[in-house]
C-alpha cells in the first residue's frame, strides 16, 4: 500500500468585502477515503465540480486538506503522516515518489525553458546526477522512453503539438522514478487519434517501471479501460467504489447507472440516449443539498436520502456503494 487517505475534506473560503473576510465556502471535497496500492491504477471518475481534480491536488500537496489525513508508506513499510508538520526529509522523499501529469499540455510546460531544462529541473532539485554528461544522457534516455527524438532537448515547448507536449510532461514525471503518478485528465485536451497513443504509453510505462497511477477523468469508458479499481465521485463525495469489473458491469449507485447510460454508444442501430431521464441541474458546491448530494436529481430518492448522508457500505469485498437503497 502506498498512500491511504481517510475522510479528506477540502473547503475553499470565498473572500468578500474590503478586508476580505470569509463569506462562505466552496465545499470541493466533503468526505473522501481511498487507498492507492503498489503497482495499481486507481481510476477516479466524475463530472465537473465533483472534486476529482481537487483530490489530485491535495494528494500532491498543491492544496493542503482542511480535514482528514494522508498516510504515506515507504517500500520498507515506514509510514509517515503527510501534513503541515511533515519533516523536511520525509517531504523530500514524498516529493520524489509522488509525481503528477497535468491536463492542459499548453500550460504545463514553462514557455521560457527548453525541453532539456524542464527535464533537468527535477534532477537538479534532488541531485540525482551530479556530473553533467551522465545527466544529459539520462535526459536523452527519458525522451526516447516517451517516443520523442533526443535532439528535441534544445527546442522550446511552443514548437511541439499537444500530444508531444504531454509526452514531455510524462517524461518529467518519470524522471525521478516515482512510485505513483497522479494523472489529472491527461488526454481530455488532446485529439481522439492522439489520445490512444498517450494511453498506450502510460500503460506501457506502468508495466515497465512498476508504478501506480491515480488516474482522474470524466470519461467512464477511459477510466474502465486503464484502471484496476474505480472510484465514482459526485459533488465532493465518493458514491461508489470497487474493482473496475464490478463497478462497470454491476453499477449499483443510481448516479453511476445514469453516468453509464449517458455515454453515447457508438452504434447508430441501438440509440440509447433517449432512455436517460435525469432531472435538473447539478447543485452548486457552495450550498450542497443536505443528506446524499445526489438526492435532488436521483430518480430513486426517498425521504431518508434528503436527511442523512449515506456512508460507504460493502456489497462484497470488491465493491462498496454509498446509497440508502442498499441498507443491511
Partner 1 sequence: MKGNTAVRVRKAFFKHKLGIVGIIILILLYLMILFADFLAPYNYKNTKRDFTFSEPTKIHWRKDDKFVGPFVYGMTRSRDPVTFAVKYVEDQEKVYPVKFFVRGETYKFWGLWETDVHLFGIGQHDDAVLYLFGGDRFGRDLFSRVLIGGRVSLTAGLIGTFIAVVIGAIVGAFSGYFGGWIDVTIQRLIEILRSFPRIPLWLALAMLLPPTWPSTTVYLGIVIVLSFIGWMGVARVIRGMVLSLREKEYVLAAQVIGQSNFKIITKHLIPNTITYLVVVSTLSIPGMILGESSISFLGLGIKEPMTSWGLLLKQAQSLSDIQSHPWLMIPGLFIILAVLSFNFVGDALRDALDPYRAVDKV
Partner 2 sequence: MSIIQVERLKSHFKTDEGIVKAVDDISFELRDNEILALVGESGCGKSVTVQTIMGLLKCPPAIIEGSIKYLGKELIGMSNKAYQRLRGKEIGMIFQEPMSAFDPLYTVGEQACEAVSVHSKLDKAGIRDKIIAMFNKVGIPEAESRYDEYPHQMSGGMLQRMLIAMTLACDPNVLIADEPTTALDVTIQAQVLNLMRDLQKEFNTSIIFITHDLGVVAELADRIHVMYAGKIVEKAQVVELFDRPKHPYTKGLLASRLKRDLKGQILPFIKGTVPRAFEFPKGCRFHPRCPHAMEICRQRDPEPVVFENGHSCSCWLYASNNNIDGVDKT
259 touches 275 (CB < 8 A): no
CA–CA gap between residue 124 and residue 20 (Å, rounded): 39
Q: What is the 3-state secondary structure (H, E, C) of the chain?
A: CCEEEEEEEEEEEEEECCCCEEEEEEEEEEEEEEEECCCCEEEEECCCCCCHHHHHHHHCCCCCCCEEEEEEECCCCCEEEECCCCCHHHHHHHHHHEEEECCCCCCCCCCCCCHHHHHHHHHHHCCCCCCHHHHHHHHHHHHHHCCCCHHHHHCCHHHCCHHHHHHHHHHHHHCCCCCEEEEECCCCCCCHHHHHHHHHHHHHHHHHHCCEEEEEECCHHHHHHHCCEEEEEECCEEEEEEEHHHHHHCCCCHHHHHHHHHCCCCCCCCCCHHHCCCCCCCCCCCCCCCCCCCCCCCCCCCHHHHHCCCCCEEEECCEEECCCCCCC
Per CB under 8 A, which of residues 178..237 are in contact with partner 2?
191-197, 199-200, 203, 218-222, 224-225
For the bound state, the minimum distance from the C-beta of residue 131 to partner 1, rounded and expressed in Å, comes to 21
Shortest Cβ distance from residue 224 to partner 1 (Å)?
26
Least separation in angstroms between residue 285's CB and partner 2 is: 12
The answer to whether 91 contacts partner 2 (rule: CB under 8 A) is no
Which parts of 167-196 interact with partner 1 (CB under 8 A)?
A: 169, 172, 176
* Residues in a beta bridge with 313: 321
Q: Does 76 bind partner 2 (CB under 8 A)?
A: no
Q: Which of 267, 303, 317, 328 binds partner 2 (CB under 8 A)?
A: 267
Taking CB under 8 A as the criterion, the residue among 69, 92, 177, 210 binding partner 1 is 92
Binding segment for partner 1 (CB under 8 A), chosen from 26-34, 70-78, 114-122, 196-204, is 114-122
Considering only the stretches 73-81, 153-161, 199-207, 292-300, report the one whose residues sit in contact with partner 1 under the rule CB under 8 A. Answer: 153-161
Nearer to partner 1, 18 or 275 (CB): 18
Size of the site for partner 2 (CB under 8 A): 45
Residue 258 interacts with partner 2 (CB under 8 A): yes or no: yes
155 binding partner (options partner 1, partner 2, none; Cβ < 5 to 8 Å by kind): partner 1
Q: How far is the CB of 225 from partner 2 (least distance, A)?
A: 5
Among 4, 39, 95, 224, binds partner 1 (CB under 8 A): 95
Asked if 146 and 197 count as a contact pair (C-beta separation under 8 A), the reply is no
Q: Contacting partner 2 (CB under 8 A), which of 280, 303, 327, 328?
A: 280
* Interaction site with partner 2 (CB under 8 A): 47-48, 161-164, 191-197, 199-200, 203, 218-222, 224-225, 244, 248, 258-259, 261-269, 271-274, 276, 278, 280-282
* Interaction site with partner 1 (CB under 8 A): 19-20, 57, 60-62, 91-92, 95-96, 98-100, 102-104, 107-112, 114, 121-122, 125-126, 155-156, 158, 169, 172, 176
Amino acid at each position: 500500500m502506498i498512500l491511504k487517505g481517510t475522510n479528506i475534506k477540502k473547503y475553499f473560503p470565498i473572500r468578500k468585502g474590503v478586508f476580505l473576510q470569509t463569506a462562505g465556502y466552496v465545499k470541493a471535497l466533503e468526505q473522501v477515503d481511498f487507498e492507492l496500492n503498489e503497482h495499481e491504477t486507481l481510476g477516479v471518475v466524475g463530472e465537473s465540480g465533483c472534486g476529482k481534480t481537487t483530490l489530485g491536488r491535495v494528494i500532491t500537496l498543491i492544496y493542503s486538506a482542511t480535514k482528514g489525513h494522508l498516510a504515506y508508506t515507504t517500500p520498507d513499510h515506514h509510514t509517515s503522516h503527510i501534513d503541515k508538520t511533515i519533516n523536511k526529509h520525509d517531504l523530500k522523499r514524498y516529493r520524489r515518489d509522488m509525481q503528477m501529469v497535468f491536463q492542459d499540455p499548453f500550460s504545463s510546460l514553462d514557455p521560457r525553458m527548453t525541453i532539456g531544462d524542464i527535464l533537468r529541473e527535477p534532477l537538479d532539485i534532488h541531485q540525482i546526477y551530479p556530473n553533467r554528461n551522465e545527466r544529459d544522457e539520462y535526459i536523452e534516455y527519458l525522451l526516447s522512453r516517451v517516443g520523442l527524438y533526443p535532439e528535441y532537448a534544445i527546442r522550446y515547448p511552443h514548437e511541439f503539438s499537444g500530444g508531444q507536449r504531454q509526452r514531455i510532461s510524462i517524461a518529467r514525471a518519470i524522471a525521478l522514478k516515482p512510485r505513483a503518478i497522479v494523472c489529472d485528465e491527461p488526454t481530455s485536451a488532446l485529439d481522439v487519434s492522439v489520445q490512444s497513443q498517450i494511453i498506450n504509453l502510460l500503460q506501457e510505462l506502468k508495466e515497465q517501471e512498476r508504478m501506480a497511477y491515480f488516474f482522474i477523468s470524466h470519461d467512464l469508458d477511459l477510466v474502465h479501460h486503464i484502471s484496476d479499481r474505480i472510484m465514482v465521485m459526485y459533488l465532493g463525495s465518493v458514491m461508489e467504489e470497487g474493482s473496475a469489473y464490478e463497478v462497470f458491469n454491476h453499477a449499483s449507485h443510481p448516479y453511476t447507472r445514469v453516468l453509464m447510460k449517458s455515454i453515447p454508444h457508438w452504434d447508430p442501430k441501438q440509440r440509447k440516449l433517449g432512455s436517460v431521464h435525469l432531472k435538473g441541474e447539478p447543485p452548486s458546491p457552495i450550498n450542497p443539498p443536505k443528506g446524499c448530494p445526489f438526492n435532488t436529481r436521483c430518480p430513486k430518492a426517498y425521504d431518508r436520502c434528503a436527511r442523512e448522508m449515506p456512508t460507504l457500505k460493502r456489497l462484497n469485498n470488491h465493491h462498496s456503494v454509498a446509497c440508502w437503497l442498499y441498507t443491511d
